[in-house]
Amino acid sequence: MPKNFVSNKDETVRMFKNDFLEALSRVHPSVPVIIYLPVILYTLYISVADYSLQFLTIVALFIFGLFIWTITEYVLHRFVFHFKPKSQFGEKIHFIFHGVHHDYPSDSRRLVMPPSVSVPLALLFFFLFHNLIGSIYVYPFFAGFLTGYLFYDMTHYAIHHFNMHSKFWLEIKNHHMRHHYLDPSKGFGVSTPIWDMIIGTNFRLKKEEQKAN
């Protein structure tokens, strides 16, 4: 199996000469939970306390938000993180956003999205959804969307640092490991392979591998 990594140890590489920018590029995996779990709970609270939305309405919008996240995860990973401009500057930008992860896939401080990137993206998505579905329904929807994001970030960290035992989690891990070490042009779903299956970017396993799974 071809290997595309520079280092498979929990080590890092310096990306910025500026110490402040360098610090912003590294984040403890607990940080997304600390930031976004209160936001999720608050948006659900607003849905009930301020807008008196029915339980089934909240559940439906929450699930819809989760669903939209799975599409967003696939699109961002495939078309943004793996976009490789041909210019030297573009290659540097690609390395900062995602190339460093493929070169140092076990770097525990660069496995979840840093707040310097995730917070502006979250605000952008919130205002986009606010305009699309309205100022009331956006809250339970966005709670589901952010839950999907948290699941993605935590899953990504677990894939690279935890041993999986259940068949479900092993398949999730193996799917992402194939993306790293077999073919980075396939397997863009991290928390779920569903869109790879639907769109056709899933891996074609040999019969021996299929039987082993």
Residue 156 included in any domain:
yes
Q: Which two tokens stand for residue 205?
A: 């396993």
Task: Convert the pLDDT of each residue in 71-91 to its tens digit.
Answer: 999 999 999 999 888 888 778
Residue 209 included in any domain:
no
Q: Are 113 and 32 in contact (CB under 8 A)?
A: yes
Residue 123 included in any domain:
yes
pLDDT (0 to 100) of residue 16: 85
- Domain range enclosing 153: 19-167
pLDDT (0 to 100) of residue 164: 86
Residue 129 included in any domain:
yes
Residue 89 included in any domain:
yes
What pTM was estimated for this model as a whole?
A: 0.90
Burial of 189 (0-12, 13-18, 19+ CB in 10 A): buried
Task: Convert the pLDDT of each residue in 91-117 to its tens digit.
Answer: 888 888 788 888 888 888 888 999 999
pLDDT (0 to 100) of residue 1: 34
Give the mean pLDDT of 65-69: 98
Q: What angle do CA 47, 50, 51 make, to 5 degrees?
A: 60
Average pLDDT score over the chain: 90
pLDDT at 138 > cutoff 70: yes
Residue with tokens 């610090």: 23
pLDDT (0 to 100) of residue 47: 97
Give the mean pLDDT of 141-163: 95
Residue 45 included in any domain:
yes
Q: Are 152 and 191 in contact (CB under 8 A)?
A: yes
CA distance 188 to 66: 17
Residue 14 included in any domain:
no
Give the mean pLDDT of 103-132: 93
pLDDT (0 to 100) of residue 209: 54
Residue 54 included in any domain:
yes
- How many domains does the chain contain in total? 1
Least confident of 123-127, 161-165, 193-197: 161-165
